[in-house]
Every structure is written in C-alpha cells, then in structure tokens.
Structure 1
Amino acid sequence: MSLAGSEAAAAAAEAAAAEVAEAAEEAEEAAAAEEAAEAAEEYDVVVVGSGLGGLSAGALSARYGHKVLVCEAHCIAGGCAHAFERGGYTFDSGPSLWSGCAAPSTNPLRQVLDAVGESPEWVQYGGWNMYTPEAPAGFYAAAGDMGEWRRTMARLGDGERTVGQWDRLLEFIEPLQRAVLAVPPIALRADVGAVLTAGPYMGAMADPRIGLIGAMADPRIGLRAYLLSGPWSAVLEAAGVTDPWLRNWFDFLAFAFSGLPSDGTVAAAMVYMLAELHADGARMDYPLGGSGAVVEALVRGLRKHGGELRLRSAVEQILVDEADGRCTGVRLVGGRVVHARRAVISNAPVWQTAALLPPAARAAVRATGSAPLDASTPPTPSFVHLHLGIRSDGLSEQALSSVPEWEKLTQPQSAAFVSVPSLLDPSLAPEGRAVIHAYLPATEPYEVWEGLTRGSAEYERLKARISQLRAAPLYAAIERFIPDVRARVDVELVGSPLTHERFLRRHRGTYGPELSAADSAFPGARTAVDGLLTCGDSCWPGIGVPAVAGSGIAAAHAVTGAGAQRELLREMRERGTLMPA
C-alpha cells in the first residue's frame, strides 16, 4: 500500500472511530437524559384511570394545588362515559340519562365541575316514555310535574290508594331528605376536618325547616335515621308502601340507578334521587356534545389547574415499598416509573386494582379483609349496548324505557333503555340522520360470551350470531316507536361484555361490584395499603354518575387538608355555585 493510501486509511479509521465515539457519547447523553426524565417523573397524586370518578378526583386534587397525573390505558379519556365517532355519528358509550347537572345543585358531578370552573352546555327536557305491562302503549314519566305524575300513578296503579301511599312515603322521608341535602357533597370529608368544612353550614343545619340538626331534632327522625344506610326496601316497608305498582316503580328506579333493585340499593341514594327527579320543576338534562363533552370539561378542569392526562399509558403495577408497606407510585407498561409523593388513586375496578398490587401487598390485603381491594367481591352482570345511526324522518321521542314483565326486571334480556340524543343535540348525527343508544342494564351474563377467541373467523361468525340474538330485545324496544327501524339503519354497532372487558378493562364486562345495601357496606376511599386510595364504582357511594363523582370528591379530600377545602367552599359560595351557608 502506498504512503498516501496508508494515510487515507488511517484518516478514515480515525474518522470512523470519532463517529463511533460521538455516537457513544450521544447515546450516553440520551440515556442520561432519559434517566433524568424518569427521575423527574414525580407527582403529588397519580390517578389510575380516567373514568368520571378518576377525572373528578384528579381535577379536584389539581384545583387544590396538587401536582396531578392521570394515566389512561385507552386512546380516549372517560372510561365507561367516553364518546366515540363512527360514520359521522357521535355515540355515547355509557350514561344517557342525566339530571341535576344543568345548574348549580347538590349533584356531586355538578359540584366538581363548578369547583374547577368548567362545564359543558346542557339542554333540558321534561321526562321519558315508559312501556310496562300496565301500559303497553306507553305512558309519560314526567320529571318535576307532580300533578301529571299523580294522575299517571292513579291511572296505572290502584287509583287513590296508590297516590295515598306515595304521599305517605313523601311525608315519611321528608326529614330524611333534609338530612341528606343539608350539607353539599363537596363539603364532606372522612376525618375530623369535617368539623371545619361543614362549619359554615351549622346555621342552616339548625334550621328546623331545612337542616340536619333540625331534622335530627325532629321526633320523626329519631327512629328513621338508621334507615339511610340500609336498603331502600326497608324505607318502603317502614313507610307502609305495599302498593304493587309503586313497589315495581321503585325497583325500576333503583335498578336504573345502581343495577340492583330496592332491596339492594342504599336508601340515601334513593332519597336523593327522589328529591332530584320528582321535585316540582325538576328537569332531565343532556350535555350538548354527548357524554364526551362532560369528560372534556373535566379534562379541561384538570389541565387548567396544572394537572396532566396521559392517554395510551397503561399502568403495569402499583408500587409498594417492601420496607414500610407504603404505596409509592406506579410503573407503566414499558417500564417507566412515576412516583407519587402523597397518594395513588385507583379508578380501576376492585379486581384490576388488586391485580396491579405486588404479590406481597395482595397477601397483606387479603389478610386484613380490606373490602376496597377484595377481588373475591362478586361483579354485577354486564350490559349489551346497541348503537344505531338511522334516517331521522318522523322521529319525536328522545328517551324511553321498556319493562315487558316486572317480575323479570333484573333477569337477562328484559328491561331496556333507549335514547335518541340527536333530537336534543342535532350535531351528534349528519343532517337527516339520528343517533340511537339502547342498552340492557346490568343483566347480561358474561358466560354467554365467555370462551370466544378473538381474531378467528369462527369468533367473528359466532360474535355476529350472538350479537344478533342478544340485541333482539333492544330492537324490540325501539320498534315500539320506530316500527321500521331496521330499514333505516346506516350504522349498527353492538357492544358486548367482551367489548367492555377489552376496551374499558372491566372485569367480566361488569360496571361494578354487586354489593347489596341489605348485607354489606360500600368501602370508603382508603385502603389497607398506606398511600393507596380508590374511587369509582367499587367504593362508596357506589355505581352511577353522581356516585362515582362523589367517590372522586372523597378521594381528593383524603389527600387535601381541611383548610384548602374550606377556602374552596368559600370561593364557590361567593360565585353562587354552592348553596349559601
């Protein structure tokens, strides 16, 4: 080789070595940056899941000044309340019936929205149509028009006997309603700080017409207060409600609210519902933009106060320090660790939360019998959803419920709920089209779908056949007011227990644990693992939109001092978004 060639080769080798060294240096810097980034992943509060409970907890915690991160596995926030689009239609995946949200009220969701200063626009309507054995042609369940409602009860029940028992019930629960409504949910907390946050309401509470102390001083409440924590059926029995039609109606309301009939639903929730649904002037609400607009409002509130939401960020494990047993953060799928200085709040269902704990922590939880993390808790049955995009000519009903047989209310393939939200918000569907959301609530057995292996041709064939069979009662309910609905369909989507299990990470497709008020109490936000809190349908107050928002409030207050909470209450009263003290 010539000298020139040797020098060229040496220069090339030197250049190559320099490039390797430079690349190694860059890789080292990148690794250091990544390590630094991971080290900086520290928050006051980390929330697992972005359902309404998790977003309520996260947004309110951020409002109190905590540094908050909400981790969501899905590509869309909202959990069971998220919205999605197909073919130009916007569908609600979850709740279709809303109330107490259009204006400041005692509804926990409304109070969270007011606290963070965000809300969707709401439209209101007067009620919905019901199809029952006594009224196969349907009747109108009017919200807030007691005169019309009394006439309906007399017609469908046993005349004045039915109305008389209704009146007797309202008289019986009146002091209970005062006790339930005396203090707004956002003023509550589960420690001695409640004296400070409830303090401004002591004057109102002492008023015998509206307050808790006045209610407790009422001789009628002395033997009734214990009923609030028990099943609603016990209140009905104590009030002497024996009328079959009324008992069926209350079973329906309880089932729609919690997935359990009157003998399994907490009385306090039903007392609250009656005040919200049947009070003079009450109205039903619907968020413009669908349920997704409520989710977006909570996300705006979270971000406005410095909180973060990360989508496609599934939590792989909840971290617990082996030395002291305290929850320290989470590890995401992919290995990234996020530390939590104050608490991890799990909005995941009880079964998933328990599975995310390290084995040693799971064993400790089982040893203490900690109900919030008891994975042996039975789930409620799942749902079947039918989402339709159809031609809209001639439509007028915006919501209905169908109960073919009262005695089969809680059995599979029975009660159905149907809404046509695009009649309230035309933006949900293309011009000349309508959105229909129908579902069978908490009656669908997971076993019907269990064992289907996703991805195979056999799976698709069986899924199509089973979907058609299981959605038949939903089509039957819709055909009561749209006889030619099948000929109108542009888009048809069936959501099954497998859909809920896959996309919402719901254990066996359930919407929550089957905890009956008759024989068990819902656990609170705190768990046996120090630094780990829960919110959502697996803890108090239970299943349903107001309930999960209330659980988010409870979790946020478990990581926040009473002083900050009291200051927020003062600001909300000054803005007129909270009842005066």
Structure 2
Amino acid sequence: VIGSGLGGLSCAALLAKEGLDVLVLEQHYEAGGCAHNFCYGLDGKPVSRARVQKEDLEAWHFEAGPSLYSGLSQERSPNPLKHVFQMIGEEPTWVTYANDDATAWGAFVPEAPDGYRMPTGAAGFEEVLERCGGPTAKEDWRRLSEALLPLAEGVMGLPSVAIRNDPGALITLVGRYVGPISQILSTGRAGRLAKPFSELMDEVNVTDDFLRNWMDLLCFLLQGMNSEGTLTAVMAYMIDDFYRGPGTLDFPIGGSGGIVDALTRGITKHGGSLQLSTPVKEILVENGRAVGVKAGANGKLTIRARKAVVSNADVWTTSKLVPRGAHQGFDEETDKLWAGDVKQCKSFMHVHVGIDEKFVPDDAPPQWTIVDRWDEDGIDVAGNVIVVSMASKLDPGLAPRGKHVIHAYTAGNEPWSVWEGLDPKSPEYKELKDERAECLWRAIEKVIPDARKHAEISMVGSPQTHAFYNGRDRGTYGPAIRAGKDTYPSQVTPLPGLYRCGDSTNPGIGVPPVAASGAIAAFSLLSIPAHWRNLDLVKM
C-alpha cells in the first residue's frame, strides 16, 4: 500500500485482518497522510510521535489536517470510518462535545460578525436560522428537511463499505441491503442522490439567502465545492447526522493521530507492517501487470507484491509512478487526467500555534469557523473560509501542562499559482507566507486577542508545505468532481494489479469517504464470503 492516509490504512487493516501479508510504505516520518499529527518538544525542535509516546515526553501535538468528526462515538452509526473500526476491532477513545454552550461550535459569519455559539442538533440550527436568516428561513428549512428525510433514512441504512468493484456488489450491497434500497426508491427522488444538492434546494423552493449560503458552506467544508458541485447523497448523510437529532461532534483522544494509531494497530496485530520515511519512486510493471514498487530515497529498494499494489497517493501522483509505455490503457487514462479531465480543488494555508492557557479566554470554544463574506465569486475565494481548532480544549494531553495548541487553516481555498516556482528557502517565500497567513491570525484573534504576541511557538504552512509533507500534487485538497457532471475515479485502474484509494477515488473527499474508499479497495481484493463476514460486524 503506497501511502498511509486514512484510506490506505483502512485498506491495509482490512486486508491484514483477512490474512494477507501487508506492507504500508509512507514517505513521511509520521503516519496518517493529510491526517497526521506532528510534535515539537519544549525546546522548540521537532520530535517524533513515537519518541514522545515511548518516553512520555511533554510536547506540542499539532494536527496537520481534519479536526471535525461526527458519527463516531455512538455504537450504531452510518460513518464508514466507524464501520472500519468495528470490522478491525480497534478504535480511539472518543470525547463528545458541541451539545452544550461550553463546547458549542463557534461561528463568525457576515450576518453575525461578532460571532455566536451553535450547538449541534435540530434545536441549535433553528436558533441560528432565527438569528441570521430571513423571514422564510425556518419554513425553507422545514421543506428541505422533509424532502431529505426519506432519502436520508435510506442512505443511513446503506453502508458504503458494502460496495465492491465487481459483480459481487449485487450480493454484498443490493442483496444484503434490500430494505434501505427499497426505501430510497420509494421516495420517487432516488435519482436526486447523484445530482447536485442545489437542484434539490431549487425543487423545494429554498429562497432564503442565509440558508442557501450556509448549505454552500457545509458543502465546501465537506468536499471542497459549493452545493452545485456536491452530491445530494453526501448532504443527506451529513444533515441527518449533524442537524436532525440532538447532535454531537466527536473528537479522538490523541487527535487525528489517535485515529491513525488505531488503524495502525489493526494492521500490525495481524502481522502487517508500516514503514515510515520510505518514499515510493516507481510502480513495477511486468507483462502488463503491477507487480511491486521501487522505494527508498534512491529508489533502489525493490519490493514485490504477490497480489496487488494499492496506491493511496492522489491520482496525479500515482500516474507519475507508472512508467510511460508500461500499459496502454493506463497511459490513456493518464493523458486524460493531465489534459484536465479531472480538475483540482485548491490548497491550504496553515498556522500552528502553542500558547499559555492564561491568554485563552475560559469560554473559548474548541472549534470555530469564520466566513468573511458570501462572495458572488464563490465560497472558495482565497482566505474567505477559515477553520480554527483548539484540540487541547478537548484533549489536554495534546499540549504541555498549562498550554494550548491551535490549528487554523484556510479551507481548501488557497491557489497553487501564487506559490508555484518559489524557492522555499528564499526571503520572498517567507514574506509571502507571512502575508497569506494574516487572515489566519485574524481568525484566531477573533477568540484569543493578541494570540500572535503571546505565542510560544508558531509555524506557517503553505501549499508547498502541504505538497512536500503530504505528497499532494500542487498541494491540492483533492479532485474537483462536480455532482451530476463527473464521477470520481474507481478503485480499480486500467493496469491489472494496481488499485487505488483515498480522496481521489469514489466516494470522494472527507474523512468518511476516504475510509469507505479504503474498504472498497480492500473488499475488491477479497472474496465475497470474507466481505460478508466483515459486514456482519457493522452496526447501522
């Protein structure tokens, strides 16, 4: 398995559980891909998580990627990552939050520039609509909810981990989950699931500007595009999970690293292994089939695969690993990819901060989001949407005693073109980082005044940082696959023996989809009986 993102780790853990000899190769010195944690010691120098854990060192634990999770603490859940945990018998310890005033999600939007707290659940969202929406907002929301409810009930009962990329899906998906499929078909709106969410809002006459803007924001945070580019199926799942019931958010002890550790245990306890600091330079192809990889800093380490190679790298990076001319069908797919048939989402700016708790207000939320403006040019205007996470409010062990860690990032709206060709050691690069990070500091200081002045440690990451450490082509968030117009690449490639998973493949971007993609890749390599046995462990 090339890459240790959540998709690759999910795939590897399921394959190892079923007795396959599994090796995960990761170019970074930390596992997790875009979801990795990295640590700095009290001396301000980087230190590996492995050493911090082994020696029980005090350290700053920073998250490189996702910080918002839901549907993971309860036993019965539609979240594919939860299903992977259930199948491998490993998972982190969860903290639940956002269901009370003390831990409610903070939001700063044009209608409420001074911010407000938004508890999850139906009641919390209605309060937001009352405060920020127009006279039709609540009625528009009621109609939208009623249209989504029957679709959501079907989607929530249909685990994406039941999918496989062969005719066996008729057994594991259609045959096993007849009830939820019938529920979806009975709505008369089944075709809507694969169409843009904006079309459903149009159909039920959602006219309130704030509600439509808020739905665009949620779509963007989930998959990097607005409601015109996001599948109704994705929003049916998210809205049901997040807004209909009492609602909670979940956070893993250990941060995203806790998720990575659980998936890694699922690999190693069955004899699989994870090798860090081992970049893959080439996928070996013999007689028209992928048979292994060349790895290591100089590419001289040859590792042969008895069954398959699974790439968790993005599709652009994967395409560069297969030698040109090794397989005609793969070359043709690559030509389409680089011709722009698959567009890219933008990238990120990051600011990581360590600060003494005395400078953090007692009522500061663990998470807050800032929308500068509902721009006519789109929600993804550079620096417009920013997410801030203070993970140590939920897990104090992520920071030294009496301290907090903060991660602020622009949500997939930073263009690569601004950074392309810059020397990361040049003064121009540092100046540009400081300039482009200014909006992130302002977002942090919405809640923590003078955070910049009081920071004990701070780092700025750019799209180049994202590309270098996470192996992302041009630092991209992932493919910009527009609902109803394009489809995500499959886990099966034109090259026999080469599979793929992660946010470049179906079902797309985000933590739940990438876990599902890893499971789909694994089960496409396993027998139908093995797949069925694992589905017996999934609780919906």
Residues 1:564 and 2:540 are matched in the alignment: no
Structure 1 residue 331: deviation in Å?
1.6
Structure 1 residue 453: deviation in Å?
2.0
d(CA) in 2 for partners of 1:296, 1:272: 26
Residues 1:272 and 2:237 are matched in the alignment: yes
Runs of 5+ in structure 2 lacking a partner? 42-58, 99-103
d(CA) in 2 for partners of 1:349, 1:368: 14
d(CA) in 1 for partners of 2:365, 2:535: 40
* 1:10 corresponding residue in structure 2: none
Residues 1:81 and 2:52 are matched in the alignment: no
d(CA) in 1 for partners of 2:81, 2:336: 25
d(CA) in 2 for partners of 1:381, 1:528: 27
Structure 1 residue 103: deviation in Å?
2.5
* 1:157 corresponding residue in structure 2: 133
The C-alpha deviation readout for 1:546-572, integer Å capped at 9, x for no partner, is: 1111110110011011101112223x1
Using a 3 Å threshold, how does the CA distance of structure 1 residues 515 and 200 change in structure 2: closer, same or farther? closer
| Cα pair 1:350 1:373 within 8 Å, conserved | no
Residues 1:176 and 2:151 are matched in the alignment: yes
Alpha-carbon RMSD: 1.9
Larger CA deviation: 359-368 vs 462-471 = 359-368
The C-alpha deviation readout for 1:167-212, integer Å capped at 9, x for no partner, is: 101111122112212222222323332343247745xx43xxxx32
- TM-score, normalised with respect to structure 1: 0.84
Residues 1:101 and 2:72 are matched in the alignment: yes
Q: 1:422 aligns with which of 385, 392, 407?
A: 392
Q: 2:107 aligns with which of 109, 130, 136?
A: 130
SS in structure 2 of the partner of residue 129 of structure 1: strand
Identity of aligned residues (%): 41
Matching of residues 160-239 of structure 1 within 5 Å: 161-198=136-173, 201-202=176-177, 205-206=178-179, 211-216=180-185, 218=186, 221-222=187-188, 224-239=189-204
Residues 1:400 and 2:377 are matched in the alignment: no
d(CA) in 1 for partners of 2:345, 2:255: 26
* 1:551 corresponding residue in structure 2: 517
d(CA) in 2 for partners of 1:541, 1:371: 20
The C-alpha deviation readout for 1:231-288, integer Å capped at 9, x for no partner, is: 1111211222121111100000000001111111122111111111112122101111
Structure 1 residue 487: deviation in Å?
2.2
d(CA) in 2 for partners of 1:540, 1:311: 26
d(CA) in 2 for partners of 1:264, 1:197: 29
Structure 1 residue 462: deviation in Å?
2.0
Q: Which has the larger radius of gyration?
A: 1
| Cα pair 1:183 1:201 within 8 Å, conserved | no
Matching of residues 453-532 of structure 1 within 5 Å: 453-455=423-425, 459=426, 461-532=427-498
Using a 3 Å threshold, how does the CA distance of structure 1 residues 554 and 443 change in structure 2: closer, same or farther? same
d(CA) in 2 for partners of 1:181, 1:307: 32
Structure 1 residue 362: deviation in Å?
6.1
d(CA) in 2 for partners of 1:340, 1:230: 39
- TM-score, normalised with respect to structure 2: 0.91
SS in structure 2 of the partner of residue 74 of structure 1: coil
Q: How many residues align?
A: 510
SS in structure 2 of the partner of residue 453 of structure 1: coil
* 2:406 corresponding residue in structure 1: 436
Runs of 5+ in structure 1 lacking a partner? 1-46
Matching of residues 37-52 of structure 1 within 5 Å: 47-52=1-6
Q: Which amino acid aligns with 2:39?
A: E
d(CA) in 2 for partners of 1:468, 1:331: 38
Residues 1:147 and 2:118 are matched in the alignment: no
d(CA) in 2 for partners of 1:300, 1:518: 38
The C-alpha deviation readout for 1:501-533, integer Å capped at 9, x for no partner, is: 111111111121222114211121111111111
Using a 3 Å threshold, how does the CA distance of structure 1 residues 212 and 545 change in structure 2: closer, same or farther? same
Q: Which amino acid aligns with 2:181?
A: L
| Cα pair 1:371 1:523 within 8 Å, conserved | no
| Cα pair 1:354 1:374 within 8 Å, conserved | no
SS in structure 2 of the partner of residue 525 of structure 1: coil
Q: Which amino acid aligns with 2:453?
A: A
d(CA) in 1 for partners of 2:242, 2:312: 28
d(CA) in 2 for partners of 1:370, 1:470: 34
Using a 3 Å threshold, how does the CA distance of structure 1 residues 443 and 199 change in structure 2: closer, same or farther? closer
d(CA) in 1 for partners of 2:517, 2:236: 18
SS in structure 2 of the partner of residue 48 of structure 1: coil
Q: Which amino acid aligns with 1:125?
A: Y
Structure 1 residue 112: deviation in Å?
0.8
d(CA) in 2 for partners of 1:422, 1:163: 35
* 2:46 corresponding residue in structure 1: none
| Cα pair 1:165 1:241 within 8 Å, conserved | yes
Structure 1 residue 442: deviation in Å?
1.1
* 1:360 corresponding residue in structure 2: 325
Q: 1:330 aligns with which of 281, 288, 293?
A: 293
d(CA) in 2 for partners of 1:341, 1:425: 42
| Cα pair 1:372 1:523 within 8 Å, conserved | no
Q: 2:88 aligns with which of 92, 113, 116?
A: 116
| Cα pair 1:58 1:68 within 8 Å, conserved | yes
Matching of residues 305-316 of structure 1 within 5 Å: 305-316=270-281
